[in-house]
Structure 1
Amino acid sequence: MNEHYKVSEADQAKRIDKLLSDVIQDASRSQIQLWLKEKHVHVNGDVVKSNYKVQEGDKISWTIPEVKPLELKAEDIELDVIFEDSDVIVVNKPSGMVVHPAAGHEEGTLVNALLYHCNDLSGINGVERPGIVHRIDKDTSGLLMVAKNDKAHESLVQQLVDKTVERKYVAIVHGTIAHEYGTIDAPIGRDPKDRQRMAVVDNGRDAVTHFQVLEHFKDYSYVECKLETGRTHQIRVHMRYINHPLAGDPKYGPRKTLELDGQALHAKSLGFTHPTTGEWKSFEVAPPEEFTQTLEYLRNKS
């Protein structure tokens, strides 16, 4: 499909990847950068790079390439399975593992590992995300529930909608939080200044995070966060919003931070009603070694 756009005076000197991410509503900036690299975008008939600054009157044309279907392959990757029956699997995802395949992450994901572990995952989310009911970020560790059939999937999703799933996280954040308890009720949506990030915005989706301070350190706090909603990057965005961003967070935190491989965030507990038996199931796992070592470092330093 061929599309065209003529650059106006208001667009003058904008980067082409930024401009097109605003113009093409369904495409992310990284997707557009890939199109530019693969020469699907032309300015006045010429190929340009992502950092090209557009000029008034430029004629931009692009062809949206056909999406190549992902061929998911089962991979023998070790899984930390906390619970499993014919309906549900609960896994403890390690930090650094992507949940499902996407452009740039076709292999080595939790889904690839699950396909090797079992061949009966729900198909509601399509070929690319079999069984995936909810997600946690690549560098966030901890508990995730996966549906093994469509009936279980529908039940678990409805519980998320009804806010009856209990999800608690622990995090290390910058600064000393003055209050022992708090609730952040602030809508989250795409950051208008950077489409790669989320932010608290007026027209965002409802987002509520409850937190409790577990320990105070010099310049840092150890907190437990309970999710009422499950927006993308919710805890990371909300803690930044109250000026206590997560330690080690490359996207929402300060540059001067603790030396960590990603944000200090761990999904420690998960509770839900079993889709078939109706029994309340709850699970808890301790944070990974890097996280606990960082806590010890802060305790000794304080």
Structure 2
Amino acid sequence: MNTFNHRVTEEQARQRIDKLLAVLNPEISRSQVQSWITKEHVLVNGESVKSNYKCQAGDDLKWSVPEVESLNIDAENIPLSIVYEDSDLLVINKSKGMVVHPSAGHQSGTLVNALLYHCDDLSGINGVERPGIVHRIDKDTSGLLVVAKNDKAHTVLSEQLSKKKIKRMYEAIVHGEIKHESGMIDAPIGRDPKDRQKMGIVDEGRPAVTHFNVIKSYLDYTHVECQLETGRTHQIRIHMKYIGFPLVGDPKYGPRKTMDIKGQALHATVLGFTHPRTKEWMEFKAEAPTYFEDMLASIEKMY
């Protein structure tokens, strides 16, 4: 078991234990946290509790994550665009169309399959299907993400993620002309009650904040830069739709009539974090892929 400790702050008091642990472990689902609680892998002041326990300031939380099982996922010799690598981590520029980790229907060809071929060491905190994965980006979103090679690096990076200290900026092309230079979208995101295959803006959802700046606007399209304050599933896609500017090419949240680019026009262009060992601030940039630039060029020609 990998064991972790946390003392509840005044700001975190009165939150449900399962909700707080899901925030402290950004890549673990709330249902997985509830499973830990049921199996008594979570203790509060040395005692087991139920998932609906309301935390109090000063509570000593201790939780144990089961050891990684023997991997049944095949290592595959898939080319990777490695922006940076050292003994603790890698920064990958993921291509559009690549799934980050295996799941139902995607047992091969994922980033994890490629990482297992490239690396002998990946952290085991996220279990057998997601070794090393600190955070994810969608299959059809390209761009930067960080991968941890050991549990210590993973823990430190996950803590930065939960405390909103990792810089994540994206470029997107959306439908419609945004006529103001910048904005902030603060709307909670959760599972869509009408369609469990989608996420949506729901009152009881998890807090989600996106900041955006207009790079250039056209009559029917806008090129925007988005910065994540939180990292909910499909956050930019949902937030931009919420304010009336869905992403071009988005098959799930976009309009029926959109460009056929096999997925949303979204690229993770900037990633910054404090290195878990050296404590040095590191920032990386990946230029938008060719398809993205070609689409911008075609929009320019329209106007």
Q: Normalising by structure 1, report the TM-score.
A: 0.77
Residue 71 (structure 1) shift:
1.6
The aligned counterpart of 1:155 is 156
Percent identity of paired positions between Structure 1 and Structure 2 = 65
The aligned counterpart of 2:183 is 182
One-letter amino acid matched to 1:138 = K
The aligned counterpart of 1:144 is 145
- Whether the 8 Å contact between 2:157 and 2:276 is mirrored in structure 1 is yes
The aligned counterpart of 1:218 is 219
**In 2, Cα distance between equivalents of 1:291 and 1:197:** 25
Residues paired across the two proteins, number: 238
RMSD: 1.6
One-letter amino acid matched to 1:162 = K
* Structure 2 residue 253 is matched with structure 1 residue 252: yes
One-letter amino acid matched to 2:223 = Y
Question: Which structure 2 residues correspond to residues 9-20 of structure 1 after superposition, within 5 A?
Answer: none
**In 1, Cα distance between equivalents of 2:181 and 2:297:** 21
* Structure 2 residue 116 is matched with structure 1 residue 115: yes
The aligned counterpart of 2:135 is 134
One-letter amino acid matched to 1:117 = H
Gaps of 5+ in 1: 1-24, 27-68
Residue 288 (structure 1) shift:
0.9
**In 1, Cα distance between equivalents of 2:167 and 2:131:** 22
* Structure 2 residue 90 is matched with structure 1 residue 89: yes
- Whether the 8 Å contact between 2:184 and 2:211 is mirrored in structure 1 is yes
The aligned counterpart of 2:50 is none
Question: Which structure 2 residues correspond to residues 222-241 of structure 1 after superposition, within 5 A?
Answer: 222-241=223-242
* Structure 2 residue 295 is matched with structure 1 residue 274: no
One-letter amino acid matched to 1:264 = A
One-letter amino acid matched to 2:194 = K
One-letter amino acid matched to 1:134 = H
The aligned counterpart of 1:294 is 295
Residue 158 (structure 1) shift:
0.2
- Whether the 8 Å contact between 2:179 and 2:217 is mirrored in structure 1 is no
**In 2, Cα distance between equivalents of 1:176 and 1:218:** 5
The aligned counterpart of 1:75 is 76
Residue 70 (structure 1) shift:
7.0
Residue 218 (structure 1) shift:
2.3
Secondary structure (helix, strand or coil) at the match of 1:196 reads: coil
The aligned counterpart of 2:166 is 165
One-letter amino acid matched to 1:222 = H
- Whether the 8 Å contact between 1:91 and 1:144 is mirrored in structure 2 is yes
Secondary structure (helix, strand or coil) at the match of 1:300 reads: helix
Residue 258 (structure 1) shift:
1.5
**In 2, Cα distance between equivalents of 1:70 and 1:274:** 27
**In 1, Cα distance between equivalents of 2:259 and 2:300:** 14
- Whether the 8 Å contact between 1:70 and 1:106 is mirrored in structure 2 is no
Residue 186 (structure 1) shift:
0.3
Secondary structure (helix, strand or coil) at the match of 1:298 reads: helix
- Whether the 8 Å contact between 2:122 and 2:132 is mirrored in structure 1 is yes
**In 2, Cα distance between equivalents of 1:150 and 1:235:** 29
One-letter amino acid matched to 1:277 = T
Gaps of 5+ in 2: 1-29, 32-69
Residue 285 (structure 1) shift:
0.6
**In 1, Cα distance between equivalents of 2:180 and 2:122:** 43
Secondary structure (helix, strand or coil) at the match of 1:184 reads: strand
Secondary structure (helix, strand or coil) at the match of 2:267 reads: strand
- Whether the 8 Å contact between 2:87 and 2:149 is mirrored in structure 1 is yes
Q: Normalising by structure 2, report the TM-score.
A: 0.77
Residue 300 (structure 1) shift:
1.2
One-letter amino acid matched to 1:252 = Y
One-letter amino acid matched to 1:251 = K
Secondary structure (helix, strand or coil) at the match of 1:113 reads: helix
**In 2, Cα distance between equivalents of 1:262 and 1:100:** 18
Secondary structure (helix, strand or coil) at the match of 2:210 reads: strand
**In 2, Cα distance between equivalents of 1:108 and 1:258:** 26
Question: Which structure 2 residues correspond to residues 57-68 of structure 1 after superposition, within 5 A?
Answer: none
**In 2, Cα distance between equivalents of 1:225 and 1:159:** 19
Residue 119 (structure 1) shift:
1.2
Residue 73 (structure 1) shift:
0.8
**Runs of 4+ with >6 A deviation:** none
**In 1, Cα distance between equivalents of 2:95 and 2:284:** 16
Secondary structure (helix, strand or coil) at the match of 2:145 reads: strand
